[in-house]
Structure 1
Amino acid sequence: MSGEFSVRRAHALVGDLFTPRPAVYWADLAASFTVSAAAFWAARPAGYATPAGALLFAVSTLAAYRCAAFIHELAHLRGRQALRRFRRGWNLLVGIPFMMPAFMFDAHVKHHSVRSYGTRDDPEYRPLDRLSRGRALAFLGSSFVLPLLAPVRFGLLTPVALVNARLRRHLYTHFTTLKIDLDYVGGVPADRRQARAWLVQELACALWAAVAAALLLTGAIPVERAVQAYAVYSALLLVNAVRTLVSHRWNGDEEPMDLVDQMMDSINHPRRPLLTELWAPLGLRLHALHHLFPGMPYHALPEAHRRLSAALPPGSAYHRTASDGLPASVAALWNGTGRRPDAPPRAGEPLTTP
């Protein structure tokens, strides 16, 4: 499979697109946060059960989801000097209030490594023979549980872990990494610098949890607003869970894959970009392209896709990563879940690996 696609040739077509533009990141985050906050605030006076209230809820959820999705960019570009201030700003504006600090996604790089993608050391991958329909549904259902567990993890367990090394290690290995494979065991900080960075973010989340609890208990924050926040958080996690499930074909056999095999095991959703950007923001709709060039900033992915689509011959490996759309991807996943990766394709299945 790898032999029919040249990564070097593809890179030559897009080699000028790997420089992140901090101004784009800041402007996008600021606009998304403003829209989300405004829609969240307006939903209550509009009436939660009214059409206007429902629309505002959807807007606040999708805009908040876009804000949260920047954690994916930070995982890939955390070594870039140009985005260090953005990482701090995102943590203060989104990561800490959501109790989803940036360090919880640092292990994401294993999902792109040619040594660990698709293996047991990949926190975000389960082959089809282990991704049963029940597990897929449980993954979707976890969206409604995680917002309740985050305050416990940071508000209650983090302070105790400060004086209990065993608990601290358990938190790091089992309740720190954002993952799809619940069997994955994470690691502890690699050095003192990383340990300090993790601790600062943990303590900030613990402080935020304490302040939020105090405001709620004193009535400064109405209970219905807290319920609304829970609903928004759960909804954005559910959207992300669906996006995650349709971002791959999950045809791995727990053996490492090179970049081309990763690309072929991933899915692009290039059609209806404005609509698709709502549920797969920041270039995540072009997931196969992202696995081919994981270091490319999100704002450059559409142009890279345009160049590759125009320059590569029809029927190339890259073209074959495209899905007909979200419904087709969901149907293919559902029909393929539990099927062996080497099983023959079903007639008309749109997402079969060539």
Structure 2
Amino acid sequence: MSVSAARAVEPCPPAALRIAAGEVVRDPSVEDRAMIQRAATIGRELGAYKPVVYWVDTLASALVGWGALAALMLLPGLPLAAALALGLVAVLGIYRLGSFIHEITHMKVDSVPGYRLGWNLIAGIPLMIPSFMYEGVHTLHHARNRYGTVRDPEYMALALKPKYSLPLFVAVSALGPIALFARWAVLAPLSVLVPGLRRTIEAKFSALAINPDFRRDPVTGAARQRWQLLEAATSLLAIAILVGVATDVIPLRAFLIWLGVLSASMVINQVRTLAAHLWENDGSQMSITAQYLDSVNVPPPALLPVLWAPVGLRYHALHHLLPGLPYHALGEAHRRLAAELPADNAFHRGNHRGLAPVVARLWAGAGAARA
């Protein structure tokens, strides 16, 4: 929902504002207008993008992440403690760097000039997640009539699934790098020769989505041209890496370290995804307020979200109120809303103490039918 969308919410009768403690309201007509209107105002005040912040943060993350990974790969004689420390720095740095793909999906091309191209060169292509894998997909997750339904590419009712689905959801992400190499180095070249395979790849294997039933619509125009260029570059890089490993140009040890770092960063992201929402919707359409309450903020004083929910992801519920707000403004927007809205406002119930309580709630309720 954009700021303009927030302003356009139709008035609701006072009875529609019954939001009891702990209740997630799914009725599309039920809204907490005070929260939505104040959020829209703050969004207008803080909505300007700061290119310097994006470039400095992105380049610093790249320097730290890629630098630590290079040291880990090129210095085989490191003591175990030093190697583990470098590995942790590499994982967190690359994880933060990759997280900027989320910002790209929401910003206009001229918001941060040249940023999409720059990020793809230093992150998207080498990480094998070019920006088109998220552009045009993630915004569907924010559509009011899609969120939490079978048409949402980024929603699974995990709270309604058996408990074993939760560790399985995380474990499968560890195989992410292998799946990406298969996508870029094997399926992409084959799809050039097999039209039917090409259609399948574009529909099923060209989106960073968690809904297994999601199928991507064909892309046309300038977006398709950008897709083709990024796909060709990513595919060539993936093939070159595998050829380099097969011919001993790239040492197997270095390749395995790189795979391990990518895998660890994907696991962290998947754990974060567990705490991005409460995952309690049964597939029906939800009001903006209900979408907010089904999403999760982990604001200060919690400190660890800086690492596991970087680039504004700790304010995920607020992001669902104001998806167009740049990440560097979310903290200030949250502080203003927290100070200005009364204690009984729905805004405060979107705030959680940390990762563990959210995941514990999900685990406790998994498999139980919810109204």
The verdict on a shared fold, with TM-score over 0.5 as the criterion, is yes
Aligned partner of 2:294 in structure 1 is: 265
Aligned counterpart in structure 2 of residue 281 of structure 1, from 310, 319, 324: 310
Aligned partner of 1:173 in structure 2 is: 203
Aligned counterpart in structure 1 of residue 104 of structure 2, from 61, 74, 81: 74
CA distance in 2: counterparts of 1:144 and 1:10, whole angstroms: 37
Aligned partner of 1:349 in structure 2 is: none
2:50 paired with 1:18: no
Map 1:179-258; keep pairs closer than 5 Å. 179-189=209-219, 191-258=220-287
Could you say what secondary structure the match of 2:324 adopts?
A: coil
CA distance 1:272–1:116, shift in 2 (3 Å) = same
2:32 paired with 1:4: yes
May I ask how many residue pairs the two structures share in their alignment? 340
Most deviating of 273-282 and 123-132: 123-132
CA distance 1:209–1:14, shift in 2 (3 Å) = closer
Give the counterpart letter for 1:116 in structure 2: R
The answer to whether the Cα contact below 8 Å between 2:244 and 2:250 also exists between their aligned partners in 1 is: yes
Please report how far the alpha carbon of residue 271 of structure 1 lies from its aligned counterpart in structure 2 after TM superposition: 3.0
User: Could you report, residue by residue, the CA deviation over 1:114-140 in whole angstroms, capped at 9, with x for unpaired residues?
Assistant: 010001110111124653322222221
Aligned partner of 1:160 in structure 2 is: 190
Please report how far the alpha carbon of residue 26 of structure 1 lies from its aligned counterpart in structure 2 after TM superposition: 0.8
Aligned partner of 1:351 in structure 2 is: none
Could you say what secondary structure the match of 1:142 adopts?
A: helix
The answer to whether the Cα contact below 8 Å between 1:128 and 1:339 also exists between their aligned partners in 2 is: no
Aligned counterpart in structure 1 of residue 121 of structure 2, from 86, 89, 92: 92
Q: Tell me which of the two structures has the higher relative contact order, counting C-alpha pairs closer than 8 angstroms and 6 or more residues apart.
A: 2
Report the TM-score when normalising by structure 2: 0.87
CA distance in 2: counterparts of 1:131 and 1:109, whole angstroms: 25
The answer to whether the Cα contact below 8 Å between 1:76 and 1:109 also exists between their aligned partners in 2 is: yes
Please report how far the alpha carbon of residue 274 of structure 1 lies from its aligned counterpart in structure 2 after TM superposition: 4.1
Give the counterpart letter for 2:110 in structure 1: Q
User: Could you report, residue by residue, the CA deviation over 1:22-81 in whole angstroms, capped at 9, with x for unpaired residues?
Assistant: 11111101000101122112335375771221111111101100000011111111x341
Aligned partner of 2:180 in structure 1 is: 150
CA distance in 1: counterparts of 2:77 and 2:346, whole angstroms: 49
Aligned partner of 2:142 in structure 1 is: 112
CA distance 1:263–1:161, shift in 2 (3 Å) = same
Please report how far the alpha carbon of residue 181 of structure 1 lies from its aligned counterpart in structure 2 after TM superposition: 1.5
Unaligned runs of 5+ in 1: 343-354
Please report how far the alpha carbon of residue 313 of structure 1 lies from its aligned counterpart in structure 2 after TM superposition: 1.1
CA distance in 2: counterparts of 1:272 and 1:142, whole angstroms: 32
Give the counterpart letter for 2:120 in structure 1: N
CA distance in 2: counterparts of 1:17 and 1:70, whole angstroms: 19
CA distance in 2: counterparts of 1:3 and 1:114, whole angstroms: 12
CA distance 1:336–1:41, shift in 2 (3 Å) = same
Aligned partner of 1:139 in structure 2 is: 169
CA distance in 2: counterparts of 1:143 and 1:161, whole angstroms: 24
CA distance 1:19–1:242, shift in 2 (3 Å) = same
Aligned counterpart in structure 2 of residue 316 of structure 1, from 341, 345, 352: 345
The answer to whether the Cα contact below 8 Å between 2:278 and 2:358 also exists between their aligned partners in 1 is: no
CA distance in 2: counterparts of 1:48 and 1:317, whole angstroms: 51
CA distance in 2: counterparts of 1:84 and 1:202, whole angstroms: 22
Could you say what secondary structure the match of 1:16 adopts?
A: helix
The answer to whether the Cα contact below 8 Å between 1:243 and 1:280 also exists between their aligned partners in 2 is: yes
CA distance in 2: counterparts of 1:42 and 1:50, whole angstroms: 13
Aligned partner of 1:340 in structure 2 is: 369
CA distance in 1: counterparts of 2:78 and 2:214, whole angstroms: 39
Give the counterpart letter for 2:183 in structure 1: R
CA distance in 1: counterparts of 2:41 and 2:218, whole angstroms: 38
CA distance 1:80–1:261, shift in 2 (3 Å) = farther
Map 1:18-37; keep pairs closer than 5 Å. 18-37=47-66
Aligned partner of 2:24 in structure 1 is: none
Please report how far the alpha carbon of residue 341 of structure 1 lies from its aligned counterpart in structure 2 after TM superposition: 2.8
CA distance in 2: counterparts of 1:328 and 1:160, whole angstroms: 45
